[in-house]
Structure 1
């Protein structure tokens, strides 16, 4: 049986992991769009590519936080199992 604290950590894990994956995928798409803009000699290609890179890095950060929440939930489960 999961405790309320463990349930909250797992909810954060799923929200941050899913959000991070969406940001990562969106960032890759925007970065590729910026690359296509550069090939077409459009003016704003640099800013679009920079925005895509920022989205990628944000997604990776969210995925890292999700990993932290999952680890905390696993540690909490182990401590509860041991009776501590």
Structure 2
């Protein structure tokens, strides 16, 4: 999902303003676009306006960690049920 949707919508070579409407709308919601925007604003604008980008990146990181913990918990429960 991140490669197929994230890379074209990231706006790395061109700013999100120059992307077609579909990709422009998708850009801030995916980590690729959020990270590209945050890096651009850190380099050129001293980090102003990156709060929303950091929130998106944090949400994806926490979501990924939660999915990982839930997956490990389910695997351990299944192993315990099979062993008992």
TM-score (norm 1): 0.51
* 1:26 alignment partner in structure 2: 30
Greater relative contact order: 1 or 2 (C-alpha under 8 angstroms, separation 6 or more)? 1
Name structure 2 gaps, 5 residues minimum. Answer: 7-28
* 2:54 alignment partner in structure 1: 53
Query: Is 1:74–2:71 an aligned residue pair?
Result: no
Contact 1:27 1:55 in 2 (8 A): yes
Q: Report the aligned-residue RMSD.
A: 3.0
**Higher Rg of the two aligned structures:** 1
Name structure 1 gaps, 5 residues minimum. Answer: 1-17
1:8-51: per-residue Cα shift (whole Å, max 9, x none)? Answer: xxxxxxxxxx8xxx8xx713312423526x74x6xxx722x221
**Matches of 1:81 and 1:28, distance apart in 2:** 41
Contact 1:31 1:50 in 2 (8 A): no
Moved over 6 A (4+): none
Aligned length: 56
Pairwise CA distance, 1:53: 1.2
